[in-house]
Each structure stands twice: as structure tokens, then as C-alpha cells.
Amino acid sequence: MNNFADVSLKRYLGLAFFSIFLISCYVRKDKTSINQLDSVPFKEQVGALKLPLEIAPIEAPFQMQQLKRPVFPALTKLITASGAREGIIVTEEIQKTIDELNAKGGGIAVIPKGKWQTGRIVLKSNVNLHLEDGAELYFSGEVKDYLPAVFTRNEGIEVMSLGACIYANGQENIALTGKGRLIGPAKEGSVRKQTMTTQVIEEFVDLSKPVSERVYEGKNGSPVLPPMFISPINCKNVFIEGVSLENTAFWNIVPVYCENVIIRGITVNSVGIPRGDGIDIESSRNVLIEYSTLSSGDDCFTIKAGRGEDGVRVNKASENIVIRYCLAREGHGAITVGSETAGMIRNLYVHDCVFEETGSGIRFKTRRPRGGGAENIHYNRIRMNLTGSAFNWDMLGSAQHVGELADRLPVRPINSLTPVFKNIVARNIVVERSSQFVKVSGIPESPLSNVLIEYADIKSDKLFAASDINGFIVKSARVEADDPIISLLGSRKLIFEEVEFIVPGNRLELSVASSEEPVFIKSKKNKR
């Protein structure tokens, strides 16, 4: 048996020894369960610039259907054939082109090279809206160009509002492709001036009303819920490839209640834009995201499933999602699960990705009244160079959003809105720089459980701080930190197995409060 770590105790309530069964419950005998640290990609190997023509077979540690590039009829029509010309708003001409192709069984609607101005565009079944190289599509900043209000979901709550700059509802076999640029609503327009920013959405929207009566269309200067950039809702077989997006008014690419979605080769720049998420998957299933580069004003790649009471009412999960060969360049979190979790988020596999200069790397968010949660989440072969924490679980939030429920204590009764995060595996992780290795702010009545980090090479300022965990293993890892403190509150069953700690003074310090059986360290010899 290896030597125990040299540990200095600030306050310690007992060493915990656990059975082989507890440890083995984290280990899946699949292709991801091997040391592949040498195979972790660098930033030059991933992202939109590395997009291949073919879509490789999808591999995942759960059953996942193979997704293929959709095929469209050869019929092609330029928007100029419908009367579009530069210098004027051409919403009607673009829509006419899409509608005519749809009526004829489908085809390719082409936006040629040039600068084009438009309002909301609605995609239709069997039509590929294709932007040629050099095409620039500028979206109006005026509310009137996104009316009438349409059914949509805004921050996890169903409403009737502006929808999206590129919108679809109930369509099949739709696409947005090409090497063109999409530029979001002008900053000086009424869309941004009338966007509601004063309340959290569940306080702004009257949830007692049926969705058809939750109408926010900006009449007489009244508040609107901002349009997403691209958001199909209730659609099947969605394909988005190659385009670049900038200057969004809100989240960028947001499939909602969709099935069979491929997003590849996308470039997003929304840095400096509040709530400027890159790609948000909302209550959708069978999703592949690959070879995309996101620089975001908020989170980069995000998985959501509805918010609070309204999300529980809808009860639609986000599941069977693979994100691979992607580059997160800037944003609050590189890969974020939540904070809208009501319908459950499950079966997510993120592999061969690089996070460069983002805040948190692998980020989880929820709140006491958000409901649902996340389970069966996998990460493999990830490289991080971060300004924030490598692993961050934020499950309580702030008083600004949930009031006194952001307070850890008192322990609340478990109810239908109590979220659960469990069964999370991360393997082959290289962290070149971070402010903290692991940071957990859990919910005492619903602690974070069953987490495994295996095969990792970590460099961070701080080491490990957690409240309210119940089962967390770090195994076969090298952790170099400037601060030697492991801080625990209300936590149980933390195991470090075969971990080499490189810390000042060659001594770990445990700061433990209100915990039972908190930590077992079976480690290689510490170094400094």
C-alpha cells in the first residue's frame, strides 16, 4: 500500500475508509476508462478552422444514435430572383424564397455575396438557407421587424415574444449553412432599448396565465424579451454549419424541444454582451456539436432544460448530447450544465475539446427552486487554460435571483423543485492554469454525489473547497497548487487515490467543518 499523504489538520472529525464497492461504482468499463493524457488535444487541433467535410461516427459512453448530414432537393433559388437588393430591408424577399422552395418540396435558398438587411426569418421544412462566402446578413434593431409575437422559450420559461432572428417552429429537415456572417440587431434600436432587464424572468412573467396569454411584443414601448439569434423550436433534423455570428442581442444558437440536431463549424463572437451565450441546448435530444469556436459574453457551450415551475410543467429533458473537437476561447464557463435544469439533463459527453482563457472550465449551475438536475455526465480528453476554476459547482446562486434560498442554511425540505446533481465522470484532464482545482457550493439537503475525476494533470492557485458533497473521488492525478488547503463543509466521502500533490511545504492542510467521514487520502508522496 502507498504512503498516506502528510496532512496537517486545522479541524478534523475522522478519517473515512470505504469499501471497494464504493470506489468501483464510479468506474465504467468502456473505452474512456484508460489513461489518455498524451492524447489530449491542443487548441491548434480543434475548433471551426479544423472542420472536416465528413461527419465521423459518434462514440459515447451511453446509447447514442448516429446523426448524418441532411440531404436537400437540388432546386436552388437566389434571394435576388425574388427581388432582393442591397441597401433596403429584404425580409419579404428572403421569406418568399424560403416559402416557395418549401411549397415545391424543398431546396436551397441562397443569400449571395453582399450586405443584406432583414428582420426575422422563418425557416421551413426541407429548405437549406445558404449564405455564400462574403454574404453578410444584418438583422434589424427594431421590434416591429420581429412581429407578430411567436411561441418561444426565454430563459427556460414559455412565452409569446420576439422568438429569434432566425426562427422555426414544428419543421423538419431544416438547415442554415455557408461561410457567411450573421450580424445581430443594431445596438441603438428598440429591441435592445426595450429589453426587460429589471427583474428575474419568473417574476416578470405571470406563470398563472396560459402561455398564449404571456405576450410580450413591445406595444407602446413596453418591455420585450429579446430575440435569440438562431432558435428552432419543436423541430426535427436540424443542421447548422459553417456560419459566423456576432453582436447578438441574447443567446446565440438555441435549439428548443428539438430532436436530431447537428451544429458544426460555427464561429461565435459575443464578448462583452451580457447574456451572450454561445450555444444553448434547451430540452432537446440527440445532439452533436463539433468543430466550433465560441468567444462569448456569458457561457460558451451550455445545456439547459427549463426553469422552475414552468420547466417542471413542461418536463422535457436535454439528453443524448455529444460535444467534440470544440474550442471555447472566452466566456464565463466553457462547458456549463444549467442553471435551468427542471426537465433533467442527462447523457452528455464532452470530449477532445480545449478551453482557452475562459472563466470556469467544467461548470455546473442550478438553484434550489430550479428543479430537475443533471446525471450521467462525461468529460474526456479536455485541455484547459483558465482564469477561473477548473471544476465549479454553483448550486445555490445569489440572493439577487432566488432571495433567501441562496443561503446555505437552514436545510430545506426536499420538494419537486429540489435539483440533484449526480454521476459525473471526468477523465484525461489537463489544466495548464486555473484559479482553483475544484470549487463546490452544494445544497445541503441535496448534496453533489458520485463524482469521479481520473487521470488528471492540474495546475492551480488554490486546491479544493467544497460544501455539501457526498461521494467525490480524485484518482490517478497530479495536482500542483500554490495553496495547500482542502476546505470542506458538510461533506462526506471525499477520496484522493494515487494523487501526487505538489504544494508548499510538502504538507496538505485540511479545514473541515460539520462533516462526517470527510476524507480518505491514499496518495503518492507530496512534493514541493
**174-208 pLDDT tens trace:** 999 999 999 999 989 999 999 999 999 999 999 99
Q: In the predicted model, is pLDDT for residue 227 greater than 50? A: yes
Does 19 score more than 50 pLDDT?
Answer: no
CATH 1.20.120.1770 holds for 7-522:
no
**Closest Cα to residue 71, out of 24, 19, 126?**
126
CB 303 within 8 A of CB 337: yes
Tell me what the mean pLDDT of segment 336-350 comes to: 98
pLDDT at 7 over 70: no
- Once rounded to an integer, what is the mean pLDDT over residues 23-43? 68
Lookup: cell for 334: 466553457
Looking at the predicted structure, is the pLDDT value of residue 38 above 80? yes
Least confident range of 8-22, 326-340, 376-390, 512-526: 8-22
Instruction: Inform me whether the pLDDT recorded for 379 exceeds 80.
Output: yes
- The answer to whether the CB of 149 falls within 8 A of the CB of 216 is yes
- What integer is the mean pLDDT of 315-344? 98
Radius of gyration over every alpha carbon of the chain, rounded to an integer in angstroms: 24
Instruction: Read off the pLDDT of each residue in 443-472 and give the average, rounded to a whole number.
Output: 98
pLDDT tens figures, 287-296: 999 999 999 9
Overall average pLDDT of the 454-483 stretch: 97
Mean pLDDT of the chain: 92
Categorize the per-residue pLDDT at 514 as very low, low, confident or very high, splitting at 50, 70 and 90.
confident
Q: How much is the pLDDT for 400? A: 87
Task: Flag whether pLDDT at 1 surpasses 70.
Answer: no
Sorting pLDDT into bands at 50, 70 and 90, what band is 31? low
pLDDT above 70 coverage of the chain, percent? 91
User: Is 175 in a helix, a strand, or coil?
Assistant: strand
What is the C-alpha end-to-end distance of the chain, expressed in Å?
Answer: 22
Question: Which residues does residue 348 pair with via DSSP β-bridges, in sequence order?
Answer: 321, 377
Q: In sequence order, what are the residues at sequence separation of 6 or more whose Cβ sits closer than 8 angstroms to the Cβ of residue 115?
A: 86, 136, 138
Residue 516's pLDDT is what?
A: 60
With 70 as the cut, is the pLDDT of residue 29 above it? Answer: no
Q: How confident is the model at residue 8 (pLDDT cuts 50, 70, 90)?
A: very low
Mean pLDDT of 45-60: 98
pLDDT of residue 291: 98
**Mean pLDDT, residues 410-435 taken together:** 98
Which secondary-structure segment (H or E) carries 365? strand 360-365
pLDDT of 229 strictly over 60: yes
**Distance (Å, rounded) from C-alpha 402 to C-alpha 285?**
29
Residue in the structure block whose three cell numbers are 426537465: 343
Question: In angstroms, what CA-CA distances link 26 with 64, 302, 426?
Answer: 21, 24, 11
The C-alpha atoms of residue 1 and residue 274 are separated, in whole angstroms, by 52
Of all residues in the chain, the percent with pLDDT exceeding 90 is 90
Amino acid at 328: A
Q: How confident is the model at residue 524 (pLDDT cuts 50, 70, 90)?
A: low
Residue 26: what pLDDT?
32
Query: What are the structural domain ranges in the chain?
Result: 7-522
Strands, sheet with 228-233, edge to edge from the N-terminal-most edge strand: 121-122, 164-169, 228-233
